[in-house]
A and B are shown apart, each in its own frame.
Chain A
Amino acid sequence: MMRRLAIAALLVLAGPAAADVGLPRGWNFSGISWQDYEFGTDSVAGASSKAAYIKARPEIRTDGFGGMIQCIKAENYLGKRLRFSARMRSVAASSGQLWMRVDGPRTEQGGAAPVTLGFYNMGDNPIRGNTDWKRYDVVLDAPDNSVTICYGFFLAGGKGEVWADNLNLEAVGKDVPVSRSMVMPKGPVNLGFDR
């Protein structure tokens, strides 16, 4: 833990040095285990543009995840339905996932974390094993009280590699179904444990 904190502090303090680890411009690391993964960009067969990759370091065993994240203000997307899409492929991947989250305001000034208004990360359908280039979508609503939108992709489980290109964030019509997301039910569910 101390090692990770020390590495993170060094990377933040020595900004340009972070370029050595191959993170593309405009993107940040995400995930508690991002140090266990390699990041970079390359031109590969089948990619329509330069593709970004996340590769698990073979000498390290981890169940954690490492990813690339970008967060933006939500002000240009208020009241809209958003689709974050990318083409992805995987090589012997344990779990590659595209994700997006819409956050609302903080519940207390300077205190509690922002309220999550929408979130989906393909946790129910991750990319595993060897897969060819294929488009994946995450669709969420950005309510009027949205403050930030974060999105990206990650590799979890510490095996293989995952690639992504043609990332796009766009507003779509309400006819596009929203990705199943983690939302609180409106009432108690299965209190008797009979299902």
Chain B
Amino acid sequence: MTRDDDDDHDLLRAWRDAPHGAPDDLLDRRVLKAAEGQRRRRAVPLGLAMAACLMLVAYSLRTPLVTPPPQPAPLDTSSFGLYEGRMLDVAAVPSAPQLAMSQGEGARE
């Protein structure tokens, strides 16, 4: 049974429930009332769907779909200093300070 069948059934029942000999305006009111109920019932799922859509839109606007950037790996400094000053020829320099560095370092005397 479809939704329309239900609505037709309601209208038919309103027609049948009308007492015989009732004034036409009474019958009209009942039919109009059943028709109004039919419109209301049809509007409910549509309203619910619209509300759901609005909620989805509002949610998507509030929480933009961006993934947090990955945390950079902690800087590994365990070898820093391991190669510094290796190009020095200490035999040629009597004492500290030394002048030349291994990785393009500058120096001050």
The interface residues of chain B, by DSSP majority, are classed as: loop
Q: Are A34 and B106 in contact (CB under 8 A)?
A: yes
Chain A residue total in the interface (Cβ 8 A):
52
> Smallest distance from the beta carbon of B108 to chain A beta carbons, Å?
4
- How far is B84's CA from A119's CA once the two chains are assembled, in angstroms? 11
A170 in the interface, Cβ–Cβ < 8 Å?
Answer: no
The tally of CB-CB contacts under 8 A between chains A and B is 136
Of the residues A30, A73, A114, A121, contact of B95 by C-beta under 8 Å: A73
Closest chain B residue, CB of each to CB of A119: B82
Contact A28-B108, Cβ < 8 Å, known A12-B100, A71-B90, A114-B86: yes
> Smallest distance from the beta carbon of B89 to chain A beta carbons, Å?
10
Mark B76-101 against chain A: 1 for CB-CB distance below 8 A, else 0.
Answer: 11111111111010100001111111
Q: Are B77 and A32 in contact (CB under 8 A)?
A: no
Q: Are A32 and B101 in contact (CB under 8 A)?
A: no
- How far is B75's CA from A15's CA once the two chains are assembled, in angstroms? 33
Which residues in B have some Cβ–Cβ distance to A below 8 Å?
75-86, 88, 90, 95-101, 103-109
